[in-house]
Amino acid sequence: MADTEYYELLEIERTADDKTIKSSYRRLAMICHPDKNPGCKDSEARFKAISEAYDCLKDPQKRAAYDRFGKAAFQQGGPGGGRGGADMGGFSDIFDNIFGEFMGGQRGGRGGPARGADLRYDMEITLEEAFHGKPTEIHVDVAALCDTCDGTGSRAGTAARTCSTCAGHGKVRAQQGFFVVERTCPTCHGAGQMIADPCPACNGEGRVDKAKTLSVNVPAGVDEGTRIRLTGEGEAGARGGPAGDLYIFIHVARHGLFEREGNTLFARCPVSFTTASLGGTIEVPGLDGQRHSIRIPAGIQSGKQLRQRGAGMPVLNGRGTGDMVVQIDVETPTKLSARQKELLEEFRATETGAECPQSEGFFSRIKGMFASD
């Protein structure tokens, strides 16, 4: 069984996603767990084998190494394997910092329990909620500290033993020509210790899946993609390691009237051609609950933008607010009474061309083009 391929052990395809890998491991672990098969050496050996396979494939870096090199990636003398050689000093710490991070998180230190994974939660809110802010609650499923073993991973009354592969350092080294490569110990996965008698509740992981309800305060002024960090609310670290963080990503739903650009709100407002010609006032409801009066100057053209200072979005974690910008769309009437048509005909009869200088200028240029022919 030691030579069996990891994907075959977990009965999954090589293209399986994280959810499929985890689900298959849990199903198989329940079947062949030593507590359910007391005295069966084959079940014990298979449980250890699938646990080894899961520990590798659930970690993106380990899985990538395994897909490229197979089990040789984790054997002494293989790519990145083995002990001995010169001290790498700060280079190993640099690699840990680079590859152990996700949205600001970092794995546990040398020879210590690994830090739990950071988690992502996507929250959709309305533009009104983004304007005012929103205290709310979210429900998440996370790997939390096992209450049965208090996160140690060992059965009650037992204790972990020092890993024989890395002598408790959590790291192993390999000499490759002039280079020395240091990596996380493949046996204890950086913990420096091995669980001799696993906790039956968490199978030695020191954590179990739990549902959490968390309070979140969405501040006023948040925008699409704003990230809220809840420190320590991510996955618990394996075997007592520190918990990761939970990152909430904000998504603002499309609004029926306003479009947002930074702290500025944009709205398109149709006005009648008579209001555009004679001038007037329109009212636009703001997100602040007030009705903002916008003065329309006489003779305004379609596309003209009018700015209402201080009627936009509040500045996130700051003072002041942005502006509201109203773009005017002059609407031509499509249904006219007989009297209205008569009045417009009278108006057309009195036109001199000076009323609409752009039209007059345009058609004058056209006449000049034809005259040149």
Say which range, 22-36, 65-79, 195-209, 211-225, has the weakest mean pLDDT. 65-79
pLDDT tens figures, 290-331? 999 999 999 999 999 999 999 999 999 888 999 999 999 999
Q: Are residues 234 and 156 in the same domain?
A: yes
- 198 vs 33, which has greater pLDDT? 198
CA distance 344 to 349: 9
The half-sphere exposure of 188 on its side-chain side, counting CA atoms within 13 A, is 27
- CATH number for 355: 2.60.260.20
Average pLDDT of the chain, as a whole number:
82
Q: Hey, how many other C-beta atoms are within 10 angstroms of the C-beta on 15?
A: 7
Establish whether 269 is an annotated binding residue.
no
Q: Are residues 228 and 100 in the same domain?
A: yes
Q: What's the whole-model pTM score?
A: 0.58
Domain end call among 253, 272, 299: 253
The DSSP letter of residue 207 is E
What's the domain range around 227? Answer: 89-160+195-253
4 falls within a domain = no
Q: Are residues 210 and 276 in the same domain?
A: no
Q: Note the pLDDT of residue 48.
A: 87
Find the helix or strand (DSSP H, E) in which 124 lies. Answer: strand 119-125
76 falls within a domain = no
Establish whether 56 is an annotated binding residue.
no
29 falls within a domain = no
Q: Are residues 247 and 294 in the same domain?
A: no
Decide if 172 contacts 189 (C-beta within 8 A): no
138 falls within a domain = yes
Q: Are residues 243 and 291 in the same domain?
A: no
Establish whether 146 is an annotated binding residue.
yes
Task: Report the share of the chain in percent with pLDDT over 90.
Answer: 38
pLDDT tens figures, 351-366? 887 877 776 666 566 6
CA distance 110 to 237: 14
CA distance 181 to 173: 5
pLDDT tens figures, 117-131? 899 999 999 999 999
Q: Are residues 265 and 279 in the same domain?
A: yes
69 falls within a domain = no
The DSSP bridge pattern shows strands 171-176 and 324-331 to be: unpaired
Domain end call among 203, 232, 253: 253
Q: Are residues 268 and 243 in the same domain?
A: no
The DSSP letter of residue 314 is B
156 falls within a domain = yes
In the chain, the number of structural domains is 2
Q: Are residues 288 and 322 in the same domain?
A: yes
Establish whether 202 is an annotated binding residue.
yes
The DSSP letter of residue 264 is E
Is it the case that residue 259 has pLDDT exceeding 50? yes
Establish whether 149 is an annotated binding residue.
yes
Handedness of CA 305, 306, 312, 318 (dihedral sign): positive
The DSSP bridge pattern shows strands 119-125 and 246-252 to be: parallel
